Amino acid sequence: MDFLTLLEESFSLEQQPVRGDIVTGVVLSIDHMGMLVDLGMKRDGVVPRSDIERLGSDVTYKLGDEIMVMIVRPEDDDGNMIVSVSQARQSEDWIKAEQMMTDESLWEGEVADANRGGLIVPFGNLRGFVPASHVTDLPRGLNDEERKDFLMNMIGSPISVKVIEVNRRRRRLVLSQREAQREIRDASKDALLENLQEGEVRRGRVSGLRDFGAFVDLGGADGLIHISELAWHRVRHPRELLSVGQEIEVYVLRLDQEGRRIGLSLKRLQPNPWTQVDELYHVGQMVEGVISRVTQFGAFVSLDPGIEALLHASQISDPTPEDPTQLLHEGQTITARIISIEPHRQRLGLSIRDIDNDLDQPAAEIDADAEIDASVIPADTVQSEMIEPDAEEDPIAE
């Protein structure tokens, strides 16, 4: 065998297609059996009708179209080269999915199906799966049937997702709506922080209630109203004043650009009752109030219009009770005498030592001009904290 013959055979072997190759061809013919595609090789490629139908009725071909196909069988029993347009498209989609996972970009799709485990979202010619744990608005505590019904109701709805797993060998494409929403909200928060100014008033919707305060959606990002900023009077829990979904106006108290946190206030939009205290009260005046909290050092008493006064333990009885909680309780109405007023420090001192409030303790004389040592009165004003909701926790739950 001469060198020229060997060289020709070598080129021929290099051009032999193998399973999985993706090549470009031109449609030669279309009939009820499928398509014939010119691949520029010794044999044309045959695309079975069933393979074309996998693409759906919205995909059509005509003679002369240039298309991508994947080699499925280089040669079948009849000597035909079997190729697939659907698998070629899927290969492109796998590559695209891998790239989107690397870039952390979002895919906009539509829910095509659902089961108890999650949602099915088409990704080009692939079927992506969104696990139920990655569906953002799925309520907690649902049983299997309730969860399935909720997910089935999402069929046909548009959805933004993020690619979080690609496994071609197992044909596994996992998507996440939760991750996509987090990224969308992060982008919205960045934009909001750029436009917000401390001291301005914004309208928002209460998105979550916690023991420490209320979260308010300002339009794509949440700010926190710390419980100390809900009202001038003491609030035990935000639910006393707010409910999830309620629309309110809030004061932008503090912006933390580095920590990407927004501190809000409700009470800054309300008149400060301490500015009126000199007009409403004076030392020696008898007042009626409701005990809002009892501690080891005394009790806090709510007075109109939203002023919280201190009844120190030394002003409850003589001798000073070791445990004020044994004599007083929250919600109890008492009559007291004002013994000190400090508007600039937002403090007002009370005494009941010489007043009969049915405390089962002996009454004693009291000096109406006596003042409480400020050193024994802890500051009751809590600086507003700006707390970010847990990324994995649903902020709507109360």
CATH code at position 309? 2.40.50.140
Same domain, 264 and 280: no
Q: Are residues 237 and 281 in the same domain?
A: no
**Look-up of token digits 């004389």:** 365
CA–CA dist 301, 349 (Å, integer): 10
* Residue 394: per-residue pLDDT: 40
Which of 235, 269, 303 finishes a domain?
A: 269
257 falls within a domain: yes
The answer to whether position 382 is within a domain reads no
What is the number of domains present in the chain?
Answer: 4
- Identify the CA nearest to 317 among candidates 355, 373, 368: 355
Distance from C-alpha of 270 to C-alpha of 188, rounded to nearest angstrom: 29
User: Do 319 and 278 have their domain in common?
Assistant: yes
Give residue 255's domain range. 196-269
Same domain, 290 and 346: yes
DSSP 196-228: --TT-EEEEEEEEEETTEEEEESSSSEEEEEGG
Spell out the residues 6+ positions from residue 381 whose beta carbon is closer than 8 angstroms to its own.
228, 346
Partners of 350 in beta bridges: 311, 338
The span from the CA of 174 to the CA of 160, in Å, is 13
Each residue's pLDDT tens digit, 89-104: 888 889 899 999 999 9
**213 and 224 in contact (C-beta within 8 Å)?**
yes
- 257 residue type, one letter: Q
pLDDT of residue 391: 39
Domain boundary among 64, 89, 114: 89
pTM of the entire predicted model:
0.53
- The residue ranges of the chain whose pLDDT is under 50 are 7, 10-14, 361-398
Question: 145 in a domain, yes or no?
Answer: yes
Evaluate whether residue 231 is within a structural domain.
yes
Residues 214-253 pLDDT 10s? 999 998 789 999 999 999 888 889 999 999 999 999 999 9
